[in-house]
Structure 1
Amino acid sequence: MAHILVVDDEKNYCTVLSELLGDEGFRVSTAANPYAALEVMNRENIDLVLSDLKMPGMSGLEFLKQVQSEIGEIPFILFTAYATVETALDAMKSGAVDYLVKPCKNEEILLAVKKALGYRRLQAQNAALRRELDVERSGGIIGNSPAVRKLLDDVERAASVRSSVLIFGETGTGKELVARALHHAGARAKEALVTVNCAAFAENLLESELFGHERGAFTGATQRKRGLLEVADGGTLFLDEIGEFPLSLQPKLLRALQEQRFRRVGGTAEIESDVRIVAATHRDLQQMTETGAFREDLFYRLNVVVLEIPPLRRRREDIPLLALHFLRRSAREMDRPVRDLAPETIQRLQQYSWPGNVRELQNVMERSVLFSTTAVLNPADLPAPVGDVAQNVSPGASNIPEFDAPLPELMDRMEKELIRKALRQTGGVQAQAAELLGISRSNLQYKLKKHHLI
């Protein structure tokens, strides 16, 4: 049931309205002035405000404008015993949904309340639809940073060609979202998008899953099974975690990509399949080819169009938008009162390093929403270690060491520690660590040897 806030400096009027609305099944809170009302609104999720126009300290119109500025769009019904055409026009221009003259009949109040709550539902539905449309247009990729805008531009260009696409990104950055955006923006959007996680299967099971098998091909193969390459015919096959693809199966995959045909396990017939391959990994495939862990010819076959998803720490300006998206979605699903982020909360979120990227942010917001009891999410609602980030530490700041050695030695220590930190944040992938540090990969390898880190 809707939660209504009644604001009036006349205690008797608050009592009368509270009883009237309570008898209709509404949840009602009261406040003697706008300042007390703002405190209630910061704690509770309010659906409608009934406010007197003339109050000491702050008028109803000033209160309405402050709520719009600090909290957002909430329907207002304004009451006054001093009605004029001018005040009525001012109220409606400021955003009030209705304007009633005291004394009011009960039927008149209830009709205005129902009309305002209908407006509130329509407002919420429209806002949710706009958010869903915005997310849908970008394939679910949320952000306005230059890095995300470039990624979306690259996705749009890559979607128009048939070439294989290789997506690089740390764990939790949203590689599958990019793969889906590619598929739905391209000519194959009406056909199947088939996903296989290469790290989720043992070698023999992955071969059967991808290529299919004939009846009797191995123990337990009691009937023929179509492989995912066959299922995806005409559409897109997304090979997630391609860096984990078994070396022994890579020649068979390479042949299927080159010739668009393959054989099922235990079969002799050639099966044709027109699929577009999109692969993703968090690993440095170039380095894996150098060590023999990944076939060079398969790498170049996949590495036609390359899309790199930036980690969350490299697009901190997107964090408020992402956090608010996850917060409102979680609040809607869990039916929780929280609907906004306090400025201090945004600051904490932007200061944290997010080693788990967008997936970690999503989990943090879900947990915070679950335990929050107020309309605005505060820093105290954030779980550790996100909520423990010092407020006076700027993103990327490092601790200054004690002056216990000459400057060159101190610089070496700091350089060594920064390299270690970069390798930890990138899961040991040297190419990504070098990019994070702003140096070339060969320079990073030189420094690794210099500091005896390899």
Structure 2
Amino acid sequence: MKNILIIDDEEQLRKLLGRIIALEGFSVTEASTIKAATIQLQQQQPEVILCDVRLPDGNGVDFVATVKKAYPGTEIILLTAFGNIPDGVNAMKKGAFDYLVKGNDNDRIIPLLHQAVEQALLNRKNAVKLEWTDKYRFDTIIGQSKSIQTAINLAKRIAPGDSTVLLLGETGSGKEVFANAIHQSSKRKDQPFIALNCSAFARDLLEGELFGHKAGAFTGANKDKKGLIEMANGGTLFLDEIGELHIDLQAKLLRVLENGQFIKLGDTKVSSADVRIIAATNRDLRAEAGQGRFREDLYYRLNVFSIPLPALRERTEDIPALVEVFLQQLAKRNQAPAPAVSAEAMSLLKKYSWKGNIRELKNVLERAFVLQDDQLILPEHLPFEIQQHSGVSTAGLSLAAVEQQHIRKILQATQWNKTRAAKLLEIGLATLYRKMEEYQISPDFSK
């Protein structure tokens, strides 16, 4: 049964919403404050959170960023009695699935809830990847900067052995690509490479994913299930966001690292697997261990070989080469010529801070690819936060007017393909429809 968490300090509304949602077949839990909701999240990770914007101990929009950082697979729908465009835009930027106004959007809650649950399940599915491919190799890693070449050379030296590797770097800096390349350069290359994002699962779900379970181990466990450690036997298991692993599971992972042994949920006998562990994190695990949030013995066992990966802003000289490769990939996928990038646009790309690193660069280029004309990407084809360093000005326009113009331009560029437009705008499809209605945006096919 799919779990929904409702956070609202208005008890009558919260109880009413809970009854309605339960009738749809969902399991519902409730909280009246962010503090209480945080405890609920630690105990049972819901697929979707319905959260009021104004709460006694905090703001729902800010809570979105907190939740998405700790539980990226969970989707959040914000509810407010005082809808306003800036809050809506801010909520979407921080990762909210959608933003509803109480009373006005009541008929949309249930359909939107089903959409959000579907997306959450897809997030969870994508958090586990089983690959038998050599598409990621050291010679496919782009960049000639000293920092990235240092990382590549160290990884090449480590790859042939069986030692545990810890990859350190910000989100989107290429940790999974490096893990795959290490696997492909090892004696295990003909065996599976399995990647797991530890932050996408609550503790109980993650334990089952990693170690497997026996039939009857818990309600709904109708048959035995292999865990990812067993599935990766002979190959490599990549544990991304290892810093999010629950402290109880850290002890069990330490046993796997020391002697390859583990116990499945509901089992009494010891199982074993020959698996190489590559872990990755954007946290300072030494500091986490010092504060008791990460086992010190596990940290030292993981840190046999550590490889720091540079952030994109630390190797801006590699951006032109990355841009060229990504645009060639987009051109091939869309069966169209690859556009050039103007000097002004390239200068902006090199000045930007890239908090999302290579992953963010790919998304920006995909949007620019759609918006560009005459096979040339200009500053105005880049997102507003990047344009701030150029002469492109939106002075005199309200936030609503800027948003309206941008949505219309994206829709026109995608020939009114709303699914693709929503992806480029980085908002939910339901949100796009609401924005189109709010701004009265519709195609004029008479032109």
- TM class by shorter chain equals 0.5 to 0.7
Deviation per CA, 1:166-210: give whole Å up to 9, x if none.
001001111111110110011110011111111111111111110
Is the Cα–Cα contact under 8 Å of residues 139 and 178 in structure 1 kept in the other structure? no
Question: After the TM superposition, which residues 88-99 of structure 1 pair with which residues of structure 2 at under 5 Å, given as runs?
Answer: none
Counterpart position of 2:30? none
Extract unaligned runs of 5+ from structure 1.
1-133, 392-454
Question: TM-score if structure 2 supplies the norm length?
Answer: 0.56
State yes or no: 1:306 paired with 2:306: yes
Extract unaligned runs of 5+ from structure 2.
1-133, 392-447
Is the Cα–Cα contact under 8 Å of residues 135 and 142 in structure 1 kept in the other structure? no
The letter of the residue matching 1:283 is: R
Question: After the TM superposition, which residues 285-434 of structure 1 pair with which residues of structure 2 at under 5 Å, given as runs?
Answer: 285-390=285-390
- Of 330-339 and 248-257, more deviation after overlay is shown by 330-339
Q: CA deviation at 1:333?
A: 1.6
State yes or no: 1:269 paired with 2:261: no
- In the alignment, the residues of structure 2 paired with residue 230 and residue 283 of structure 1 have an alpha-carbon distance, to the nearest angstrom, of 27
- In the alignment, the residues of structure 2 paired with residue 192 and residue 152 of structure 1 have an alpha-carbon distance, to the nearest angstrom, of 22
Is the Cα–Cα contact under 8 Å of residues 173 and 357 in structure 1 kept in the other structure? yes
Q: CA deviation at 1:328?
A: 1.9
SS of match in other structure, 2:166: strand
Is the Cα–Cα contact under 8 Å of residues 338 and 373 in structure 1 kept in the other structure? no
Q: CA deviation at 1:137?
A: 4.5
- Which protein shows a greater Rg? 1
- In the alignment, the residues of structure 2 paired with residue 147 and residue 297 of structure 1 have an alpha-carbon distance, to the nearest angstrom, of 29
The letter of the residue matching 2:374 is: T
- In the alignment, the residues of structure 2 paired with residue 321 and residue 135 of structure 1 have an alpha-carbon distance, to the nearest angstrom, of 18
SS of match in other structure, 1:385: helix
Is the Cα–Cα contact under 8 Å of residues 140 and 177 in structure 1 kept in the other structure? no
- In the alignment, the residues of structure 2 paired with residue 158 and residue 283 of structure 1 have an alpha-carbon distance, to the nearest angstrom, of 22
SS of match in other structure, 1:152: helix
- In the alignment, the residues of structure 2 paired with residue 258 and residue 276 of structure 1 have an alpha-carbon distance, to the nearest angstrom, of 11
Deviation per CA, 1:55-79: give whole Å up to 9, x if none.
xxxxxxxxxxxxxxxxxxxxxxxxx
State yes or no: 1:233 paired with 2:221: no
Cα separation, partners in 2 of 1:139 and 1:201, compared to 1, 3 Å:
farther
Question: After the TM superposition, which residues 205-216 of structure 1 pair with which residues of structure 2 at under 5 Å, given as runs?
Answer: 205-216=205-216
The letter of the residue matching 2:312 is: L
Question: After the TM superposition, which residues 113-128 of structure 1 pair with which residues of structure 2 at under 5 Å, given as runs?
Answer: none
The letter of the residue matching 2:298 is: L
Q: CA deviation at 1:337?
A: 4.2
State yes or no: 1:190 paired with 2:190: yes
Q: CA deviation at 1:376?
A: 2.2
Question: After the TM superposition, which residues 9-88 of structure 1 pair with which residues of structure 2 at under 5 Å, given as runs?
Answer: none
Counterpart position of 2:253? 253
Counterpart position of 1:281? 281
The letter of the residue matching 1:215 is: A
Q: CA deviation at 1:212?
A: 0.5
Deviation per CA, 1:68-109: give whole Å up to 9, x if none.
xxxxxxxxxxxxxxxxxxxxxxxxxxxxxxxxxxxxxxxxxx
Q: CA deviation at 1:228?
A: 0.7
Counterpart position of 1:61? none
Deviation per CA, 1:319-373: give whole Å up to 9, x if none.
0111111122112222444422222221111111111111111100000001112
Over aligned residues, Cα RMSD in angstroms? 1.8
Counterpart position of 1:175? 175
Q: CA deviation at 1:161?
A: 1.5
Deviation per CA, 1:403-428: give whole Å up to 9, x if none.
xxxxxxxxxxxxxxxxxxxxxxxxxx
SS of match in other structure, 2:384: coil
Q: CA deviation at 1:135?
A: 7.9
Cα separation, partners in 2 of 1:282 and 1:183, compared to 1, 3 Å:
same
Identity %: 46
Is the Cα–Cα contact under 8 Å of residues 168 and 307 in structure 1 kept in the other structure? yes
Is the Cα–Cα contact under 8 Å of residues 142 and 322 in structure 1 kept in the other structure? yes
